[in-house]
Structure 1
Amino acid sequence: MHRTLSTRIRLNPDLDQEVEFRRIAGSCRLVYNLGLEQRRDFWRQYRATEGRHLHWMGQKKELPALKEAAPFLADAPAHCLQMALQDLQRAFDAFFAGRAGYPRPRKKFENDSFRFPDPAQIRIDAKAGLLILPKFGRSKGDHGAIRAVFHRPIRGKIRSVTIVREGRHWYASILLQVRCKVPAEKAPVSIDEVYGVDRGVEVPFMGSDGVARGHAILPKPGSGEAKRRKRLEQALARAKKGSKRRAKVRLKLAAHRAREARRRKDMIEKVTTEIANNHRVVVIENLPVRSMTASARGTVEDPGANVAQKAGLNTAILDKGWGLFRIRLEQKLAARGGLLIVVSAAFTSQTCACCGHVSAESRVTRDLFRCVSCGHEAHADHNAACNIRDRGLALLGLAPSARIERPAAGAVVAVC
């Protein structure tokens, strides 16, 4: 059995290599945006003349003509330009499948990346700390091999390498194909192996055992990190477009956001690994993050209310990485032979975990839950996590319902 994994390494390019990085990334960004414009504005004419829809394979055949019109594109590796069109195709596929919005043009400083898809053109010398790619160390007279920091052994068959800039630094994401053992069949699931997780804003992840995770790793909304980001955003808004000062502020803001993203990803990796290692079945609620973080601005005819408050809530939600948490947890559980169950989120924060009574008045404060029916008192997130776990037990057949009628200890169910 094979699995596809990725590992990311830090690159330390010299000045000449970094200039070439920017040139290749700019060429790929141009090809992506031209392909997007073609598919957005000329798809009707193309279908009328060719009798079929635009596809990245057809656009790839037009690259030689584009290089004649723009000779500087010939300096970029051909595979990198082709992969830009493939990325555009994937963006359209996700849009038509309803997984993402309509593709938008790539921007400088925000979408600086390019990919080498041919494993035969990729070589890694971990002992010397070198990454060898087309245009970088494969032939005499090129820009030389790229110095890299290999913080862990590279095990597996290399499939591709993607170079990306985040803030002031460049990274290489190496896609690997590794062989793994097929998880052996385990015994039927018992009640003790089912674990509920509630995702929140103040406490990112609360377990049904009352253990809060993630809150000690991420900075608080009112911390110095948040204030610095706000000051940089204000400075960028005040700077004149095209000025050197605006370029400096944009670079500082990009570096700040990249540091926040690394901290968030590190937190999610640690939390999901801990949960996947200690629990076989994990239950989470189905949260529509895209709808929950939609702007409340409204329109000119129908302006929204509490726009600033909603914007702050949206930022707080996105800073917790709920979507990435679900993806990584599902992947790690599957690798360990576990299972992720997604249940409805309706009234999990208003339902008493002891008697099943539903009332908005039971949510006394953000942190306190006190049932108006039976008097049960607990942390609000812990109470919600228990309700989420109960709904998972009901789906597994370990409970007759998601209410307090819990099954007797020792009841088991097989996971398909």
Structure 2
Amino acid sequence: MCKELSGWRNSAEMPWLKGGPIHPLQQSLKDLERAYTNFFAKRADFPRFKKKGQRDSLRYPDPKQIKLDQGNGRIFLPKLGWLRYRNSRDALGAVKNVTVSQSGGRWFVSIQTQREVEVPAPSGGAVGIDMGVARFATLSDGSYLAPRNSFKAHQVALRKAQRTLSHNTKFSNNGKKAKARIQKIQARIANVRRDDLHKASATISQNHALVVLEDLQVGNMSRSAKGSVEQPGRNVRAKAGLNRSILDQGWFEFRRQLDYKLAWRGAHLVTVPPRNTSRTSPECGHVAAGNRRSQSRFACVECGFEANADHVGAINVLRAGHARLACKVSGAARPPAAGTRRSDSVAAVSCT
């Protein structure tokens, strides 16, 4: 297709291709190849056609054609010339490629650089984290992070803007203005959520050498309960509200940020199965559904131990993480489940 691209650029049917630089066009073909590879490997759905106004971006892969003047806040790109930009932080190292993207009516330039850095020694101890809705993240030391609920805070404004768009004529000037207003609100929701996740992940990665998380399947947890005509679902409205709350937290993005930020600091991220983490007593190891009396209250029916349910889950997550690491060191085939009974210490749990 790269060979065909030269003919398309010089043809009379597609003269608009010649107005753009050649390298971003070739990068689009690379993105298409990657999309088909992910589809056949069953990592993604079938590739969809691009649409103007959605995820508009172009990538410049040749650093020889890029000139960066950070002192004056400008960058030179082929066919575009010198462009002014607002510098969010210094670009350290050698420039490798540049990606220009559009989001919420604004254009952004992302500069990828390469440099060698020394991996620092991690500071702090180990911590287990239990993810939730009422509490975004509860740590095994008893502290917790409150949820930001970015979508919930802007839900009313978004609903009004969408209602206004539905009353406008399609492709009219007022319709374009209403659509731009919706995009601005959605960009605001995403920016608030992303900012909160970056602050939380940075704080945790800076103060801990080992972080243990539950391996939550967010897609399965937020699946619709609507059902079908033959078998309609139950409590669909309540489940839809729970799904919105789960997706509003950004659990997977939080895990992704923790993963690379811990690696920057020489620390480690370990994931464990979430089964029975909130139903296991950290005192006696008894597992029962009745141990969790409510969303926030844990009371063991065996030994009477009481605590916050999310805090109990974080403690069990941390112990399961230690057990998993012990299994990897000893070469065991499989780590113990969260509900495995134990004796006086976690080290006494055998890997089965």
Which bracket does the TM-score occupy, shorter chain normalised? 0.7 to 0.9
Question: In the superposition, relative to structure 1, how do residues 298 and 201 fare at CA in structure 2: closer, same or farther (>3 Å)?
Answer: same
Partners of 2:195 and 2:213 lie apart in 1 by 20
Counterpart among 128, 131, 145 of residue 72 in structure 2: 128
Q: Cα–Cα, structure 1 residues 324 and 390, in superposed 2: closer, same or farther, change >3 Å?
A: same
Equivalent residue letter for 2:86? V
Aligned ranges 1:165-184 → 2 under 5 Å: 165-182=102-119
Q: Which runs of structure 2 are paired with 1:236-275 in the superposition (5 Å)?
A: 236-275=165-204
* 1:400 positional shift: 8.7
Counterpart among 345, 349, 352 of residue 407 in structure 1: 345
Match of 1:149 in 2: 86
**Structure 2 counterpart of 1:8:** none
Partner of 1:62: 4
d(CA) in 1 for partners of 2:292 and 2:108? 45
Choose the corresponding residue for 1:109, options 53, 66, 69: 53
Match of 2:34 among 67, 70, 90: 90
- The residue number in structure 2 matching 1:198 is 130
The alpha-carbon deviation at position 208 of structure 1 amounts to: 0.8
Q: CA deviation digits over 1:107-161, x for unaligned, max 9? A: 3332111111111111111111111101222xxxxxxx21111132210111111
Secondary structure of 2:202's aligned partner: helix
Residue 371 of structure 1, aligned match among 300, 319, 323: 300
Name the residue aligned to 2:142: 210
Match of 1:141 in 2: none
Where does structure 2 lack aligned partners over 5 or more consecutive residues? 328-334
Q: Tell me, in whole angstroms, the C-alpha distance in 2 between the residues paired with 1:85 and 1:302.
A: 44
The C-alpha deviation readout for 1:319-369, integer Å capped at 9, x for no partner, is: 222112111211121222211111101121222222222222332222222
Q: CA deviation at 1:285?
A: 0.8
- Aligned length in residues: 337
Q: 2:2–2:29: 8 Å Cα contact kept in structure 1? A: yes
For the residues of structure 2 that align with 1:102 and 1:241, how far apart are their CA atoms? 29
Contact 1:400 1:407 (8 Å CA) reproduced: no
Question: Retained in 1: the 8 A contact 2:150–2:192?
Answer: no
Aligned to 2:239: 310
Question: In the alignment, residue 313 of structure 1 is paired with which amino acid?
Answer: L
Corresponding residue SS for 1:280 = strand
Deviations 1:368-414 (A, max 9, x none): 222222222222211111111110111122999855545389x9xxx
Superposed displacement of residue 264, structure 1:
1.4
Q: Which amino acid aligns with 2:134?
A: E
Q: Is the 8 A contact 1:194 1:393 kept in 2?
A: no
Determine which of 158, 162, 168 is the counterpart of 1:229: 158
Q: Alpha carbons of 1:317 and 1:238: their partners in 2 closer, same or farther (altered >3 Å)?
A: farther
Look up the match of 1:282. Answer: 211
Cα separation, 1, equivalents of 2:165 and 2:289: 42
Matched position secondary structure for 1:358: coil
Gaps spanning 5+ residues in structure 1: where? 1-58, 138-144, 412-416
> What percent of counterpart residues are identical?
40
**TM-score normalised to the size of structure 1?**
0.74
Q: Matches of 1:236 and 1:348 in 2, distance apart?
A: 45
Does structure 1 retain, via aligned residues, the 8 Å contact 2:323–2:346? no
Closer, same or farther in 2 for the Cα pair 1:84/1:183, shift >3 Å?
Answer: same
* Equivalent-residue separation in structure 1 for 2:217 and 2:39 (angstroms): 17
What code does the residue aligned with 1:208 have?
Answer: S
What is the rounded CA distance, in whole Å, between the counterparts of 1:236 and 1:294 in structure 2? 28
Q: Is the 8 A contact 1:117 1:159 kept in 2?
A: yes
| Change beyond 3 A, Cα 1:86–1:221 | closer
The structure whose RCO (Cα within 8 Å, separation 6+) is larger is 1
Over 3 Å counting, the alpha-carbon distance change for 1:360 and 1:407 in structure 2 is: closer
Residue type at the aligned position of 1:73: L
* Counterpart residue identity of residue 248, structure 1: K
Contact 1:158 1:175 in 2 (8 A): yes
* Native 8 Å contact 1:400 1:406 kept in 2: no
Whether the 8 Å CA contact 2:129–2:212 is kept in 1: the answer is: yes
The match for 2:331 is none
Please tell me the residue identity of whatever aligns with 1:95.
Answer: F
Q: 1:408 to 1:201 in 2, by over 3 A?
A: closer
Contact 1:115 1:162 in 2 (8 A): yes
**Paired position in structure 2 for 1:30:** none
Deviations 1:250-272 (A, max 9, x none): 21111111111111111121111
- Code of the residue aligned with 1:197 in structure 2: it is I
The 3 A distance-change label for structure 1 pair 222 and 64 is closer
Name the amino acid aligned to 1:314.
Answer: N
Aligned equivalents of 1:228, 1:106: Cα separation in 2: 29
